[in-house]
Structure 1
Amino acid sequence: MLQGKKFSKWLSDKRVVMIAVIIGTVAVLLIGLSSFIDYSGGEKDNSEKYAAKTEAHLLEIISHINGVGEAKIFLTMDNSGENVYLKNTDTKTKSIEPKVRGVVVVCDGGDDPLVVSRVLDAVTKSLNISSDKVCITK
């Protein structure tokens, strides 16, 4: 019973109540602000940069194939890549690039079966993906 009186006396102190209200308000504000912060921005940027770089390399390769003409490429990525922590090595981490989910190639020579075969071969071998993940059209 003595502790109950001490607690009620402690709560009757205006400074203690004011400090508790301030701490509670700050906690609620921090929780509310955390919903506005984007935690995945860096990963998304890395995936988009990798896709753009890969598209540029593929476009350079494909544009040199005879009969392709003007070409455009679109890549879809499966994930944003990974950082793997290594043990017993000099380097601490190893980056694994995002995996390519699919490729669309639109080119002037997309109606010629020989050009389609050459472009398909170049894309599948350079990205190490299966041919069912590649669409080539005019």
Structure 2
Amino acid sequence: MKFSWPPGFNAWKKGLERYGYVLLVVAVGMVLLLWPQGGEEEKTAAQESVQEEFDLEAFEKKLADTISQIQGAGEAQVVLSLQSSSRQVLAQDKEQGSQGDSSTTTVTVGRGSGNQDVVPLQTVAPQFRGALVVCPGGDDPQVRLAVMEAVSAVTGLGSNHISVCKSAA
């Protein structure tokens, strides 16, 4: 008994021979489109970096820990006051009209699923108003100078905005 193909199959067989490579490329493209990419991890990391806020308490603690390592300073406590907090400068698009009027819009980027994110150009660091450092070695002039220089280097404050005091204990 000899096997015979259905009558319409010969037309399909000729089409496969003629367009086989095209169909193969289309099939590979479909597989690549459906392949999971793991882009969710990258998306959340990018959103976290954009939404990162300045944490004043953590900054004060880190500065106090660093000042405590200065010889003679002892266990330090730091209080910082802010003149302005950190902010982001966003990308903006300015358009001039034919009558001389202009309009400004904030540039956004689509992240898929209808989500829109702003485009930050830069993050401006906070501006400090003053600093108070309380440590056991605050009455020694050499320690005071070293602490003032350290705080000034980190915050950008002048020595007239930094107060170093001896702690009570």
- Classify the TM-score, shorter chain: 0.5 to 0.7
CA root-mean-square deviation: 2.3
Instruction: Give the distance between the partners of 1:134 and 1:78, measured in 2 at CA.
Output: 14
Counterparts of residues 67-86 of structure 1 (less than 5 Å):
67-86=72-91
TM-score, with structure 2 as normaliser: 0.48
TM-superposed deviation, 1:87: 5.4
Distance 1:77 1:99 in 2: 6
**TM-score in terms of structure 1 length:** 0.59
State the Cα deviation string for residues 61-84 of structure 1 (Å, max 9, x = none): 101100011211101011233221
Structure 1 stretches lacking a partner, 5+ long: 1-45
Structure 2 residue aligned with 1:53: 58
Decide which structure has greater helix share: 1
Is 2:135 the counterpart of 1:107? yes
Q: Which runs of 5+ in 2 are unaligned?
A: 1-52, 94-108, 110-117
Cα shift readout 1:85-136 (whole Å, capped 9, x = no counterpart): 1359x98113223211110000000000010011011110111221111000
- Work out whether 1:135 is the aligned partner of 2:139: no
2: CA distance, partners of 1:87 / 1:61: 39
- Structure 1 runs (4+) deviating above 4 angstroms are none
Instruction: Give the paired residue count.
Output: 91
1:92 to 119, 122, 139: 119
Opposite residue 80 of structure 2, the aligned amino acid is L
